[in-house]
Structures are given as structure tokens and as C-alpha cells.
Amino acid sequence: MSSIDLSKYQQKPEAPKNSISTEPTVSGLEKLSDALSKDITLFEKKFGQTQKEAFYSELGLLLSSGIDIKTSLEIIEDQLKVKKHKEILSQIKEDIISGQSVWEAIHKHQKTFSVYEYQSIKIGEESGKLPEVLIELGKFYTSTIKLRRQVISTLTYPVVVLTMSVLIVQFMLSFVVPMFSDIFKHTGAELPMTTQLLIKVSAKSGLIFYTLLSLVLAGFIFHKTQQHKLWFRKYTSWFFLRVPVINELIKKIYLARFCQSMKLLLGSKVLLIDALDLVKNMIGYYPIEFALDTVIKDVYAGKQLHESLAEHGIFPKKLVSLIKVSEEVNAPELIFDKLNQQYSEEIEHQQLVISKIIEPLFLVILGGLVGFILVAMYTPLFKMSSGLEGM
């Protein structure tokens, strides 16, 4: 979604309901041609986080400028290029025109918008702070996208190097090692154990490579089909929480999201229990979801938030202490905002450190694999040449 250009916007005149269509009739052959020429929607771009970031930010800005909701949606719709996205906004606009509230119109598209989003918008409408809530939702997705891009940038280098390592080793085992193996067969020289092992592995390199590729593809498909199931989320989060260095990074990413969401909801004067329930439904991280189940019950029973959070190890002591202070001074949204900023800065720093460690580590691994193969192949040649010189 591009930025808004008000100077280019022109209101579209609405056609009279009872007007007689002057369009020529379409033959059956033309209809078939139109159907076949339609875009295939299987891989159509979703209304994802990037689109939501622009949508909420721009809609909040337009409403804050005094433009009515209908005109605001039309302005945004004109900027869209993906047909499916235009249809979604057009339907939302029509529902609002027919008398529905904004959150009710968005609630109809549950596959596109989450409970967290339309509940936040509902609260914004009821409190008279819809533009502010929309702008905050835009900031939420800005932060989410930034975190996602940081994680992707950190993982890209090791994934590329690991892939190149596998391909280089496969090439050497399939083409280089067999060349040396033929030479050794003709000479009949006794080979070191490492060279013999490498030649045996080379003979089965194709089987090993395709088995490895099949396992990767099977793992990818398994992840895609099981990633939203409770048992899978539970055990994968348990596993990653026990991986050194990475566990702290993952925790901080979701704690930052927790703090940002709480800041948005409490800033909109949402009741604490309702805010916790909404965050639990959108956080997407099992350890925090599991903890919030108990926290909601404790708060409902009269316990203070910081006391309940302190009973769960997923929440650091610093976070609990600051929330305690926020409860004493009655400024929870300010503390959650500060915590979100702190975690975001720590995440950025930790990702830089991890990337600096990973880069040389993977280069050493790649160099070690290639070096091992070359040494194993050239050692017998050096021995044979030494033997010939001795004669």
C-alpha cells in the first residue's frame, strides 16, 4: 500500500440505483474468455502485516485530519493495487455506510483481521479515541514488522552459508573424490582410514544428499501443517527455551510484543482483565499464553498483576518490578511503553551480537569441511610422491 496522495483523489460519482445499463450484452464465449483470463488467486498476496501497518496508520491519520470514515476508506482503496485488498476495503466501507460500526464491519473478515484488532477498534469507538487507537495499531505492526525483519536478517546469513556448505560438500563428494579414488585404484597404494571413509561416503553421496533434502522438505511440510496446533507450539517453545543465546532473544521478542499490546489497550482505558485476555489471544507464544491463563484468574480474584506475573518464570524480575511501580503510581501504559522500548533496543543489540558470532563460526565450519576433504585426498598423494623420491 503506497502513501496517500490527496491531490490525486477524486470522489467517484455513484450510479443511480434505477438507471438502465448501457453496457453491451456479453456473449457466452466472452464470459468463458473472461473467466479463463482471471488471475489465479492461489498465490495471491494476503492482506498481511505490511498492508495492515499502512492501512491503520493512514486511516488513523485521515480520521484525525477530520475526514469522514467513508471518504477515508475510499482514499485508501484508491491507493491499493491488489484486487482482493480492494474488495475487502470496499466491503468494509459498504457495511459502514449501511449503518454498522467500524469494528462490526471489520469483524466480518475474521480470516484477515484478528480478535485483537477488531476488539481494539471497538474499544476505540466506544471511548471516542478511534483515530488514536488506529494509529497505535499501525505502530504495533510497524514494530512487529521491524522485529520480524531483524530476525530474518539474522537467520539469512547462516541459512545461506549452510546451504552453500551442503552444496559444495556434495559437489566435492560427487565429482572431486571419485577422481582421486580412480587414481588410488590404479596405484594400489594403501590408503589412510580417513581417505577410505571419505571414499565410502562419496559412493553413497547421492543417497545421503537426497535423504537429507527429503528430511528438510518433510520437516517444512510438517511444520506448516502442525504449527498452529497446541501440542506442537508447546513442545517447540519448550525446545527453543533451552537453546542457549537464542532462548533469551525469543523471550525478549514476545515480551516486547506483550508490553506493546498492553500499552495500547490500557492506554485506551480497557479493563486490565479484558486487556490480558485480548493479549493472550493474539500473542502467538505458548509460554506467555499459558501464564496469562493463570494471571487472568488471579487478577479476577483480587491479586495484583505484578504478584501473579512473579509466579511465572517467563516474566523477568525487572518487568515484574516495574509493573509493581506502575500499579503504585497508577500509570501502567507508560511503564509498558518504556518496557517495550527497552526490549526493542535489547533485541536489536542482541541480534547484532549473534550475527557477528555466527558469521565467522559458519565460515570456520565451511572451511573445516572443505579442508578435511582436501587433506584426506591429498595425503595419500604426498605419501606416494615421497615414496617415489625415496626410490
Pair (360, 312) in one structural domain: yes
CA atoms within 13 A on the CB side of 66: 0
Pair (233, 340) in one structural domain: yes
Residue 349 identity: H
pLDDT at 322: 92
Residue 359 has pLDDT above 50, yes or no: yes
pLDDT at 321: 92
Structural domain including 80 reads 44-113
Tell me if 86 is assigned to some domain.
Answer: yes
What percent of the chain has pLDDT above 70?
86
Pair (382, 259) in one structural domain: yes
The helix (run of H) or strand (run of E) holding residue 13 is none
Give me 103's grid cell.
Answer: 469494528
Pair (105, 157) in one structural domain: no
pLDDT at 16: 41
Tell me if 326 is assigned to some domain.
Answer: yes
Kindly report, residue by residue over 197-240, the tens digit of the pLDDT. 888 888 888 888 899 889 989 999 998 898 888 888 889 888 88
Pair (70, 205) in one structural domain: no
Residue 46 has pLDDT above 90, yes or no: no
Q: pTM of the prediction? A: 0.69
Tell me if 126 is assigned to some domain.
Answer: no
Q: State the Cα–Cα distance between residues 325 and 305, nearest whole angstrom.
A: 11
Burial 274-310 (b: 16+ CB within 10 A, else e): ebbbbbbebbebbbbbbbbeebbebbeeeeebbebbb
Pair (318, 372) in one structural domain: yes
Burial 166-193 (b: 16+ CB within 10 A, else e): beebbebbeeebeebbeebeeeeeebee
Cβ proximity of 264 and 140 under 8 Å? yes
pLDDT at 308: 93
Kindly report, residue by residue over 184-193, the tens digit of the pLDDT. 777 766 778 8
pLDDT at 386: 63
